[in-house]
Chains A and B, each alone.
Chain A
């Protein structure tokens, strides 16, 4: 236990947190929140910090032991196992959504003509091989990719085109609609609160009671980067066009030209986003397999990694055949509320623990 440094955790989760919003969700945010997007991102960051703090507090009950093991002392054996299976399902649901969005994006742009099932299958085989190798491989991989992903993401901001309409910025302070804001916060908070999964791996990091500090560093940095990209995309496309583009950031990157050396930056950005999405998928599959192994009292997650990858393939394939249902599902309130419900599970443990300690005192 405690094999990795806190900043390795920060790097891993920063890559995890920016991967999906930057690649796929900016368009939906622009569609729902329009000019209120900045306040939505800020509020969602605060809400998600609150949600993650429950997970950190729960992990602090026994910092040397993983939640999958000590959780049954709080909740009881079978309720705890049921909750673990629910989180396995949650990880696989997120993985299915990410894999499907990746296939949609990568397959349509760079592999036209390649059957979807080949793109998904090939990607999932790679994901399963890495997650089978365990947390150490994932953490080192994130370490290696971090400078590239963040370096290029920040550098790209400098090269963004001069077609920005700064006059639009006045709308950021004049547009206020409470209903839109709370609905957008409900939609965006689950993106950031995914960091609740840190509960599962916290004992592997040498953090010593400063977990919240590192979580705040991770969240604030990722939120700032997402907000910068959101602002620039908004100022280039405006909320109406931006909200109707499938991958607005990709369209934005296509505007960037650096002299004659690199005609367009999009292949570089795509390879980096693919890497960050890959790390996210690997981590989700690893956590699903790890939790399932703990729930079934198996000594290793390795043999079940491919079994779970096959299930994700079948789910993704089901969505591939129904693109309209997939789009509606990912943007639906039921999906957001389901994610939020699972992310609030640590709070349930804290409440049960409090009730039990009050009961024990009164006895």
Chain B
């Protein structure tokens, strides 16, 4: 599965052709975003983290689940 991450990272890396001709700020933001995402993704895959959306929604609003039950009584 890590192969797919590398494929995506390679495709995203190919965008460098376009980014290279842009302003320095764009280049800097692009490289930072690319590296941060790649590191996060690799860590998430290697250590089997819970998906970020699940974690965030549960941390913020998980306390509501026992209060409202969607299942029919």
Interface residues, chain A, with chain B CB atoms under 8 Å away: 31-32, 34, 89, 92-93, 96, 117, 120-121, 124-125, 128, 179-180, 183-184, 186-187, 296-300, 302-304, 306-307, 309-311, 313-319, 321-322, 325, 329, 331-335, 337-338
* Contact with B49, one of A184, A318, A337 (Cβ below 8 angstroms): A318
A307 touches B4 (CB 8 A): no
Q: B21-50, CB under 8 A of A: which get 1 and which 0?
A: 010011001100110011011001100111
Give bound CA distance, A112 to B72, whole Å: 33
A310 touches B56 (CB 8 A): no
With both beta carbons as reference points, the residue of chain A lying nearest to B17 in the complex is identified as A303
Set of chain A residues within 8 Å of B68, measured between Cβ atoms: 183, 186, 333
B29 touches A298 (CB 8 A): yes
B45 touches A314 (CB 8 A): yes
Q: What count of chain B residues pass the 8 Å CB interface test?
A: 47
B57 touches A335 (CB 8 A): yes
Set of chain B residues within 8 Å of A184, measured between Cβ atoms: 70
Interface residues of B in 52-69 (CB under 8 A from A): 52-54, 56-58, 60-65, 67-69
* Contact with A302, one of B15, B45, B48, B52 (Cβ below 8 angstroms): B15
A31 touches B29 (CB 8 A): no
Give 10 pairs: A residue, B residue, CB < 8 Å, sorted on A: A34-B72, A89-B56, A183-B70, A184-B70, A298-B26, A306-B15, A307-B34, A322-B50, A333-B70, A334-B64
Known A313-B4, A318-B49, A321-B48; judge A306-B11 contact (CB<8 A): yes
Give bound CA distance, A92 to B51, whole Å: 11
With both beta carbons as reference points, the residue of chain B lying nearest to A306 in the complex is identified as B12
B53 touches A92 (CB 8 A): yes
Which 3 pairs show the lowest CB-CB distances between chains A and B?
A: A318-B51, A310-B8, A334-B61
With both beta carbons as reference points, the residue of chain A lying nearest to B36 in the complex is identified as A307
Set of chain A residues within 8 Å of B7, measured between Cβ atoms: 121, 125
With both beta carbons as reference points, the residue of chain A lying nearest to B30 in the complex is identified as A303
Set of chain B residues within 8 Å of A296, measured between Cβ atoms: 29, 33
A314 touches B5 (CB 8 A): yes
Given contact pairs A32-B70, A125-B11, a sample of 13 additional A-B residue pairs in the complex whose CB atoms are under 8 Å apart = A31-B71, A93-B53, A121-B8, A180-B72, A296-B33, A303-B15, A306-B15, A310-B38, A315-B51, A319-B51, A319-B54, A332-B65, A334-B65
Give bound CA distance, A329 to B64, whole Å: 12
Give bound CA distance, A334 to B38, whole Å: 29
Give bound CA distance, A32 to B5, whole Å: 38
* Contact with B9, one of A183, A310, A318 (Cβ below 8 angstroms): A310
Set of chain A residues within 8 Å of B40, measured between Cβ atoms: 311, 314
With both beta carbons as reference points, the residue of chain B lying nearest to A34 in the complex is identified as B72
B53 touches A303 (CB 8 A): no
Q: Which of B30, B40, B51, B57 has the most CB of A within 10 A?
A: B51
B11 touches A315 (CB 8 A): no
* Contact with B18, one of A302, A307, A322 (Cβ below 8 angstroms): A302
A117 touches B57 (CB 8 A): no
Known A303-B12, A338-B61; judge A314-B26 contact (CB<8 A): no
With both beta carbons as reference points, the residue of chain B lying nearest to A328 in the complex is identified as B65
B53 touches A314 (CB 8 A): no
Set of chain B residues within 8 Å of A186, measured between Cβ atoms: 68
Shortest CB–CB separation between residue A289 and chain B, in angstroms?
11
Shortest CB–CB separation between residue B10 and chain A, in angstroms?
9
Known A34-B72, A117-B1; judge A315-B53 contact (CB<8 A): yes
